[in-house]
Amino acid sequence: MSAQSPLCRATGLVKEFPSGRRGLFGRRPSFRAVDDVSFEVDRGETLAVVGESGSGKSTTARLVARLMEPTAGSIEFEGEDVSQLKGNDLRAFRGGVQVIFQDPFSSLNPRQSVERLITGPLVYQRRPIPGGARAFAKDLMDRVGLNPDFSDRLPSQFSGGQAQRIGIARALAVQPKLIICDEAVSALDVSVQAQVINLLRELQREEGFGYLFIAHDLAVVRQIATRVAVMSQGRIVETGDRDELFRAPRHEYTRKLLSAVPRINPEWDRRRREAQRRRESAARGAGGVAEAGL
pLDDT at 273: 56
pLDDT digits (tens, 9 = 90+) for 237-260: 999 999 999 999 999 999 998 887
CATH class entry, domain 8-21+29-263: alpha beta
pLDDT at 280 over 50: yes
| 234 secondary structure, DSSP code | T
Number of H helices, E strands in the chain: 11, 10
pLDDT at res. 144: 97
Q: Is the distance from CB of 253 to CB of 237 less than 8 angstroms? A: yes
Q: What does the pLDDT average to over 209-216? A: 96
Q: What is the pLDDT of residue 278?
A: 73
Reported as a single tens digit per residue, the pLDDT across 177-211 is: 999 999 999 888 888 999 999 999 999 999 999 99
- Rounded CA separation 249/230 (Å): 10
Tell me, yes or no, if the pTM score tops 0.75. yes
Q: What is the pLDDT of residue 153?
A: 97
Q: Which amino acid is at 208?
A: G
Q: What is the pLDDT of residues 2-14, one digit of tens each?
A: 457 899 999 999 9
**Complete DSSP assignment for 60-92:** HHHHHTTSS--SEEEEEETTEE-TT--HHHHHH
DSSP type of residue 130: T
Which strand (E) or helix (H) includes residue 277?
helix 266-292
The per-residue pLDDT for 2 is: 45
* Predicted confidence (pLDDT) at residue 293 exceeds the cutoff of 90: no
How crowded is residue 53: how many other Cβ atoms within 10 Å of its Cβ?
A: 8
Per the prediction, the chain carries an average pLDDT of 88
Residue of higher predicted confidence among 225 and 187:
225
Q: Give the whole-angstrom CA distance, residue 121 versus residue 124.
A: 5
Distance of CA 82 to the CA centre of its chain: 21
pLDDT at 290: 38
Residue 25's pLDDT is: 62
Q: What are the residue ranges of helices labelled H in 218-251?
A: 218-224, 242-247
